[in-house]
Amino acid sequence: MEDSDERKNVFNSIQKYVCSVYNARNVIDVDAARVQMFMDSYKVSDINEAFNRKKMRNFDARSLPPCKNELLQHFLRANYICAIWNNAHLSKFVRYVIMNNVHKQIIGYS
């Protein structure tokens, strides 16, 4: 994806989708969904209640959605691989180089 605004819009849509997959209602940010899911499971009912460490031993972070940075890296990697496969039929190879967290296209000859 060339346009950064388009990339942001697609990434926001992906975040919204991931939140819906993890059943985080009315949340469109994956980091907020992670906090909400954690608080729903481990929130104390009384301020004077002691934190139950035994309950935390059974905590599985795999049940939480990925954080925003992790999801962004998955998104960029998937976009990069799709770009490679979309250009696989060309006689000139297209190479992408990451500069300042942006993929730059370099066209070369095979």
Least Cα distance to 37 among 76, 9, 67 occurs for 67
Residue 60 domain boundaries: 4-107
Q: Is the pTM of this model over 0.75?
A: no
Cα angle 63-65-68, degrees, rounded to a multiple of 5: 155
Cα(53)–Cα(36) distance, integer angstroms? 19
Q: For 96, which DSSP code?
A: E
Which residue carries 């770009």 as its tokens? 83
49: helix, strand or coil = coil
Contacts of 28 (CB under 8 A, 6+ apart): 12, 15, 16, 19
Number of domains in the chain: 1
Asked if residue 14 lies in contact with residue 71, where contact means CB atoms within 8 angstroms, the answer is: yes
What pLDDT digit, counting tens, does each position of 34-92 carry? 988 888 777 766 666 666 665 666 677 788 899 999 999 999 888 888 878 887 787 77
